[in-house]
Structure 1
Amino acid sequence: MLITADRVLTGSGTYLEDGAVLVDGDRITAVGPRAQFAGHSRALGAELSFPGATVMPGLIDAHVHLVFDGSADPLATFNASSDEQLLRDMRRRAEQLLSSGVTTVRDLGDRNGLALRLQEEISRGGTPGPRIVSAGTPATTPGGHCHFLGGEVGGEAAIRDLVRRNLAAGAGVIKVMASGGGLTKDGPPSWQSQFSADELRTLVEEAHQAGAPVAAHAHGADSIAAVVDAGVDTIEHCTWMTKDAFGLRQDVLKKIIERGIAVCPAVSPHWQMVARHFGEERTKVLFGQVRQMAEAGVRLIAGTDAGVQRTGFENSLAGALPFYAHVGMPTDRILDMVTAHAADALGLGGSVGRIKSGLRADLVVVDGNPLADLGALREIRAVITAGCVKDPGSSAE
C-alpha cells in the first residue's frame, strides 16, 4: 500500500513535501518523495492519495482509564457494572480513540485486568482499537486513591506480589499511586503521600528487575520528590501540591531532568475550566509550573486522563493539546509530545512514534498542516494501525 499526501511528518518539525509512505503488511518499508515511487504503483499495491493533507505518526495518549466512562460521576457507572458490561463499553471507547487518530494508549489502571483482555482482542484483530500498554491493577495503600480497583497493598512483601501478578498477567507498565487523588472522595487528599520511601524503592526495584517501567501518580510535592528518589520512569500529573498551595521545587526539578524522567501532566480537553475549581490566581500558578518544566527541559508527554470526571475519549487528545500552546510551547514540540517523545517514554520508540522504515505502520492522515494549526488534528482523513486502514467515520456510537 502506498500512501501519498502533500506533507509527510518525518521528524521534529520536519516535513517531506509531496511525500509518500510505503506499507507492507504491518510495517513501513519506505518513505520518500512521491516521485520516487512514480511508475511503480501497480507493483506497490493499492495507492491512497490525500491532496492537501499531512501524514504523521499515529497519536499516543499516554494516560487513559478505559474502565471509566468520562461522565460527571464515573464511579457510579463503574460500581454498578459487571466486568462484562465494563468490557463492552471499553470496546466502544477504544474505537472512539482510534477514530480520533490515537493508535497507542497507556491505560494506567483498571479492574480485574479488563484492559489486558481488551488489548488481546485488539491484537487478534477481533476488536478495532489502539495498541494498549496496560498497567493492570495500580498499587495503592489500604483505603488509598483508587482502592476500588483492587490494588490495596501494605508492606514490601505485598507490593512485590502485586507487581509480579500484574507482570504475569501481561502488564507493560507498573502504576503506583504515590499520593491521593480527587477521584477517590473517601481517600487521602491529593497532596498527601501514600507510601514510604522504602516501599516505593521496593516497587521500582521489582518492576525494573523484570524490565518494566514504573508510572507514578503524584500530585503532592513531597510525593513527587519521593518517586524521583525511588527511580520511577514517568510522573503523572506532577502538580506540586502542598496542603494549601502549589510549590515547584527546583532541586527536585533538576533531578527529574538529569535522570530523564518523563512527566505527563494529564491535561484534560476542558483545561480552560480549571479556574472554576482552583480560582484564577492558583490556576495561573498551576499553569505556570508546566511552563517552568517545559522551559527547564523536562521531557513532557501528553495524556488526557480520559475516563475520569467529564473527560471522554473522542477527540480528547486534540482538545487537550492547545493547553501546551497556551503555556508557550512551540507546535513542533507539542507534536513530539504525542508521537516520538511519548513512544520513547513508553518504551516503544523502536516500533512506533515516527515515520521510518522498519517501524510499525501506525499513521494518521489529517487535513491541512498541524505544524501551522493544531486544529488540523481534529480533521481526520484516515487512520492506519498496524497497516490496516480505519475509516474515521465508522466509529461506534
Structure 2
Amino acid sequence: MSTTTFTVTGCTIVDPASGQAIPGALSVSDGLIVATPDTVRATVDGSGLFAIPGLIDMHVHATSDPHGRTASKWSEITTTTMTLSAVDNLATALANGITTVRDLGAPRDVGYAVRAAWSRELFVGARPFTSGPVITAMGGHGHWMGVESEGPAAIGALVRRNVANGSDVIKLMMRSAAHRVELRPEELGNAVAEAHWLDVPVAVHANFSERSIDAAVEAGCDTLEHGFAISDSTADVMSKQGTALCPTTTALRSVVEHPQRWVRPGGKELVERAVRQFPEARRSFERALAADVTLIAGTDAGAAGVAFDALPRELRTMVEWGATPRQALAAATSAAAGALRHPELGTLRPGTPADIVLLRSDPLTDVSACAEVEAVIQRGRVVRLDSPWRAQGLEPHPAPGTVLTPRS
C-alpha cells in the first residue's frame, strides 16, 4: 500500500482500555503506526486535539437503507441497490470517524461481495466485517436476509456453509415481537459448537424475550445483540463466560421515539412491545453493567431511521444509563476490537493499523466528543480533515464514498 509517511504532532493520545490520556505524537508509515519513521515528510498539526483509535460500530446492516428510499420489501430490492446502499452507508460511517463496522446480516452473497470490493480498494468506506446471511428458524425473524434451519441436525451445515463462504462471525436469530418462531436451545447449542470448532465467533439476536436471551447465553454465544430482558443471574453468567453485550439502544429509541417509521405490516406489535419494555431495557443494561459484563457498542444502523453516523448517540445513551465515558469509549474501540478478535484495531500502539480519529474535545470527560470529529485517518490515509491548514506536505486522498480509479 503506497501512503505518505507523516506525523500527527502535538495531540493528546487517548488509550480507551486504560483511560490514560498522554500528550504526544503519532507517526504513520505504510498504513501503520510506527515508533519512529525513517523520514518525516509531512505533518498534521494535532494541537488541541484528542487522538483515539478509529471507532467501531459492532451492529450494522450495511446493505440496508435507513432512509427508506429503496423498495418496501426485501424481495423487491436488487443486489445492485443493496450494493449502492452499502457504499453510501460505509462512506457515511467513515466520514464520521467509524473506521470499522460489523455487518450482521445481508442477503445471499452481497455482504461478502461488498467486503471484497472494499478489500480490493474499489471504494473508500468503513472496513466491513460480515456475518453473511443470518441463520434463523423456518419462518423466523430475519428469514428474508438469511437461511432457515430445519432443526438441530441440519443447522451445523448452515454454519459450515457460511464459514466456507467467508463469514467473519456467525449471526443466529431468536424471536422478535412480530416473528415468534425461533431456534430451539439444542439448535443454538449445535450452531455455537460448530462455529467455535471452526474458530469463528457467534452473535445472537435476542431482544425482548428473557427465555430467548437465557437460551443464547446458555449456548455460549460470544456477543448478545439487543438483550432488553437480562436477569441478574444471566448477567452473572455472561460476565463469567465472557459474553459481551451489544445493547443497540439507538435502534430501540428509534422505535419508541419515531413509531411511524416502524408501523408497517408486522411492525405494530414491535412498536407496542418496544414502548412497553423500554424501562426494562435500561434496567437490563444496568444489571449487565453491575455484573461487569463486557460492553460493545452497536447501533443497528440500516434499521428504519438509524443512520450510519449514529454511534455517538449510542455512546451517550450508555453514559446516561450508568456507564462511564471511558467504558462507553472502550465499547466502541478496544472492547469492540477484542470482540472482533482483531485487538490491533482498538489501540494506537506502534505496529497497529493507522486508524486514527482526531476529536476537538476530551472523550474521557464527555463521550459526546466522539461527534466532534476534526480528522479521520484510515489505513494511514487522511480521508477527512476539516481544517486544511493543519496539514503540511500531505498527499490528498479521495473522500469517503469515492469509487477509486486503478493505480498506475
Partner Cα separation in structure 1 for residue 73 and residue 42 of structure 2: 44
Give yes or no for the alignment of 1:335 onto 2:329.
yes
Distance 1:391 1:236, change over 3 A: same
The root-mean-square deviation of aligned C-alpha atoms, in Å, is: 2.3
Equivalence for 2:21: 15
Q: Which residue does the alignment assign to 2:176? A: 181
The 1:133–1:28 alpha-carbon spacing in structure 2 relative to 1, beyond 3 Å, is: same
DSSP 3-state at the match of 1:361 = coil
2:219 equivalent to 1:230: yes
Q: Aligned-pair distance for 1:250?
A: 2.3
Retained in 1: the 8 A contact 2:231–2:287? no
Contact 1:324 1:334 in 2 (8 A): yes
Letter in 2 for 1:56: I
Aligned to 2:317: 323
Cα distance, 1:270 vs structure 2: 7.5
Instruction: Note if contact 1:225-1:252 (Cα within 8 Å) is conserved in structure 2.
Output: yes
Report which stretch shifted further, 6-15 or 320-329.
Answer: 6-15
Secondary structure (helix, strand or coil) at the match of 1:139 reads strand
In structure 2, what residue type is equivalent to 1:181? S
- Closer, same or farther: CA 249–213 of 1 in aligned 2, 3 Å: same
Q: Once the 2 structures are TM-superposed, how far is the Cα of residue 123 of structure 1 from its aligned partner?
A: 1.4
Please give the TM-score of this superposition, normalised by the length of structure 2: 0.85
Asked if the contact 1:64–1:303 (Cα under 8 Å) also holds between the matched residues in 2, the reply is yes
Deviations 1:262-302 (A, max 9, x none): 01001217738737756877433321221221122111110
Residue 7 of structure 2: aligned partner: 2
Query: 1:206 and 2:194 equivalent?
Result: yes
Q: 1:272 to 1:176 in 2, by over 3 A?
A: closer
1:252 alignment counterpart: 234
1:1-397 superposed matches below 5 A: 1-11=6-16, 12-17=18-23, 19-30=24-35, 43-71=39-67, 76=72, 78-177=74-173, 179-182=174-177, 185=178, 187-188=179-180, 194-219=182-207, 220-240=209-229, 248-268=230-250, 271=253, 274=256, 277=271, 282-313=277-308, 315-349=309-343, 351-391=344-384, 394-396=399-401
Structure 1 residue runs without a partner (length 5+)? 31-36, 241-247
Summarize the Cα distance change of 1:64–1:132 in structure 2 as closer, same or farther, 3 Å threshold.
same
Matched to 1:223, the amino acid is S
Compute the TM-score of the two structures, normalised by the length of structure 1: 0.87
CA distance in 2, matches of 1:373, 1:28: 26
The 3 A distance-change label for structure 1 pair 195 and 321 is same
Residue 33 of structure 1 corresponds to none
Please state whether the residue corresponding to 1:203 is helix, strand or coil.
helix
Task: Give the distance between the partners of 2:115 and 2:197, measured in 1 at CA.
Answer: 24
- Quote the offset at 1:74 in angstroms: 7.0
Query: Per the alignment, do residues 307 and 272 of structure 1 end up closer, same or farther by CA in structure 2, a change over 3 Å counting?
Result: closer
Q: Deviations over 1:323-375 (max 9, x none)?
A: 011112111111111000111111111x2101111111111111122222223
Q: State the Cα deviation string for residues 57-102 of structure 1 (Å, max 9, x = none).
A: 0000000001211136977164332101210121111111010101
Task: Report the secondary structure of 1:229's partner residue.
Answer: helix
- Change in Cα spacing, 1:94 to 1:4, as seen in structure 2 (3 Å) is same
Distance in 1 between residues matched to 2:39 and 2:7, nearest whole Å: 10
Identity %: 31
